[in-house]
Amino acid sequence: MNILVIGGAGYIGSCTSKALARAGHSVTVYDNLSTGHRDLVKWGPLFEGDILDGDALRRCLNSVRPDGIIHFAAFSQVGESVQNPGKYIRNNIGGTLNILEAMREANVRNIVVSSSAAVYGIPETMPVTEDMPADPINPYGETKLFMERMLADFARSCGLSWTALRYFNAAGGDPDGETGERHTPETHLIPRALMAADGKLPDFHVMGNDYPTPDGTCIRDYIHVADLADAHIRAVERLLQVEDGHGIAMNLGTGTGLSVMEILNAIERVTERPLNYTMGPRRAGDPPSLVADASRALEILGWKPEHSGVEEIIRDAWNWYGLEQA
């Protein structure tokens, strides 16, 4: 297939681009490089553009004529979305609308969209299934849910075929060390903890130890980025086999929750280094626990995580961190 990866210069986008190329597909990356990185575009050409630029999107689609699109180009920081909701509404909703309008004009029918467990808010029971109510508690989750609703609207109006993949916590790095997590500033738990283990982050804080969980810290379902990439390939390949107008949301996770303290203990084991940290206040917009039921992805895509053991995740992230520091 000929696949356009929007946001393909970022963390999950670059890993997915590599996996697509290895599976024999042709890849073009569309990215404005505001948070992505030119040197992570290694498996196909880069079309430099912004999703808020509808004319640039139309030129790209008319040039590439993709069989399908994978859309990663959304802002994704929960805390920032609480502080600056307009930024998230403008980019995540407005940018996605531009993509869908450009697809309709170019007669491109297939799209896989990066969604999030944040659409569920604070679920009443665990693990979380796709049939549970979507009730986000932060602007980031609200924008992801609205993106899904736009997909359904366009499916009804112009026969769009879509899949929304609701990630839980993406983690790890490319097992070959060719791409990985690189944010400025870095806000995610595992890379920040690795920086602290390396003595490069003296002010590493655990954000809250008073949650209603066994050790008081947040529980999350961590999924290896290589497993996420595999799910995207399976999803976009499937869209070419279904009828127009089809759409579905699927969870991507392991079904196993790990607390912040369990992650930090695993980091000490893998790196064989002590980890110094302090306890800080909760981060606004964080639910206590999120764990996926991903049985729908297994049933429909034949997908299950193969690389998402906690020590493999941390080992690959640590390897990538070391390569970045070299």
Question: Which distant-in-sequence residues (6+ apart) come within 8 Å of 281 by Cβ?
Answer: 207, 208
Contact in structure between 37 and 12 (CB atoms under 8 Å): no
- The secondary structure of the chain in percent helix, strand, coil, rounded to multiples of 5, reads 40, 20, 40
Q: What is the pLDDT of residue 285?
A: 72
> Does the residue 104 lie in any domain?
yes
Rounded to an integer, what distance in angstroms lies between the CA atom of residue 245 and that of residue 109?
Answer: 9
Q: How far is the C-alpha of 188 from the C-alpha of 107, rounded, in Å?
A: 37
Residue 183 lies in a domain: no
Same domain membership, residue 274 and residue 159: no
Given the structure tokens 């109006």, which residue do they identify? Answer: 157
pLDDT for position 317: 96
Indicate whether 142 belongs to any domain: yes
140: annotated active-site residue: yes
Mean pLDDT by 10 residues, the chain (326 residues): 97 98 98 96 98 98 97 92 96 98 97 96 93 94 98 94 96 95 88 94 92 96 98 95 81 97 97 93 85 97 96 96 85
**pLDDT at residue 290, rounded to an integer:** 92
Domain region containing 259: 189-220+255-325
Q: Is residue 176 part of a domain?
A: no
Q: Does 106 map to a domain?
A: yes
Q: What DSSP assignment string belongs to 111-136?
A: EEEEEEGGGG-S-SSSSB-TTSPP--
Q: Cα torsion at 225, 146, 301, 290 (round to 10°)?
A: 60
Identify the pLDDT of residue 95: 98
Domain count, the chain: 2
Residue type, 81: S
What's the pLDDT at 312? 97
Query: Of the listed 30, 88, 120, 140, which one is catalytic?
Result: 140
Query: Rounded CA gap, 96 and 82, in Å?
Result: 20
State whether 210 and 244 are in the same domain: no
Residue 178 lies in a domain: no
User: Residues 263, 137: one domain?
Assistant: no
- 199 and 139 in a common domain: no
